[in-house]
Each structure stands twice: as C-alpha cells, then as structure tokens.
Amino acid sequence: MFHKEGGPSILIGVIFTVVVVLLADKFIDIYWLRMLVQIAALVILIIILQFFRNPKRIAIRNIEHVLAPVDGKVVVIEEVYEGEYFKDKRLQVSIFMSPINVHVTRYAMDGIIKFSKYHPGKFLVAWHPKASEENERTTVVIENDTFGAVLYRQIAGALARRIVNYAKEGMQVVQGTDAGFIKFGSRVDLFLPLGTPINVVLGQKAIGGKTIIATKA
C-alpha cells in the first residue's frame, strides 16, 4: 500500500524504468552492460516505491498516551526553550527518519488543532543543531484535556524537498491517523509539558502510531 502523496513520483518512476529498460534492450548490444542499466533502473523504482509505502496500522487509542508521530530512531530527549508558540521551556523528543523508514506523519494524540504554520527554509542535514529553526518545516499544536497543548514539528532535511501537512486550525483529529508526509525523510520533534513521563530512551526505534512516547503524569 502506498501513500497518496507518492502518486506523481511513482508514476514518473514507472515511466522512467519502462523507457530505460526498453531503450537498453534496443540499443545496448553488450549483454552485461544492458543488464546493468536495466537493473539500475529497477533499483531506482524500488527505492521510490519504498519511500512512499504506507503500511496499514490501527492505533490503539488511549487518551493517556502520546504516540510516536513517525517511524525512526529517538535521537533527542531534553528540556529546551520552545520559542515559536509556547515561548517557554518544554520537553523535546525528536525522532530521526532514515531513507528506509516509512515517512508518513501521524497524529500523536486526539485533540483539536490550535495552531498550524508552514515555514520555508534551508535544507540542512536533519541532525544539524539549527535544523529545527532554519530548515523548511511545519509547526502544529494539538490540545486536549489530558496533556494540554503538545507541539510537533515536521522538519525537512538534506534530501527532503516537500513537507505535506494536513492539520488545519480548528480540526478535531484522531490519534494515529494520517497527519501528513515528509517526502524523502528527515525528522519530527515533539514538545511536551515539563514533567511528562517519557516512555522511550535515546537510540530506541519508534513506530509511528504504535510506540508510546509519553504517558499522563
């Protein structure tokens, strides 16, 4: 199953692969070279398909849990100053997505979208200290009665060239459902209230819509 945002890229990839395979078959007489070109085209198509896969997941909704918004590795757990929306200290949990991870963004909890903003920016590598402030990104705030306001930020990286965000202010959203997509990867930051019990550790693999990142204090 593939994400709808991958439609144009997948179509281009299929057309490219078919054209390369046919042209190589017609114009390259050296067998090993022809096979090498055709296999390379197929590998490129497989990579594109892999980027846009969207495994079906049914989140176990729980108002006392904040779930991972994306697949990837937990790379940051620290207290930081969040200066865009809260303008105070928050507990940040960041998940880095490698090129082989699923790149779908999912809502980490039930609630109402209080804030949603897109920021154009640079394409620094995702682990760069200033990526959260200078890269292309979206900032979304969800609020509910259990956790109050929780912010998540989709951040583009060196490869990512488009962030898709479905969250609109005033929307009522459901935990684990599709919140957007980061084409070709990067990272997502969560900003939680101070004192929120964290359920993951640095280096842990997170699964979007499944892994419990935090619980009610």
Integer CA distances (angstroms), 155 to 56, 139, 209, in order: 24, 9, 18
**What is the domain count for the chain?**
2
Q: Model-level pTM? A: 0.83
The 3-state DSSP class for residue 51 equals helix
Indicate if 110 and 204 belong to the same structural domain.
yes
User: What is the extent of the structural domain holding 121?
Assistant: 65-215
57 domain residue, yes or no: no
Annotated active-site positions, please? 186
State the amino acid at position 93 in one-letter form: V
Domain assignment present for 143: yes
pLDDT for the residue numbered 57: 82
Name the pLDDT band for 168 (thresholds 50, 70, 90): very high
Say if residue 34 is exposed, middle or buried (CB neighbours under 10 Å; 0-12, 13-18, 19+): middle
Q: What is the pLDDT of residues 118-150, one digit of tens each?
A: 988 666 665 555 656 667 889 999 999 999 999
Query: Are 129 and 171 within one domain?
Result: yes
34 & 113 share domain: no
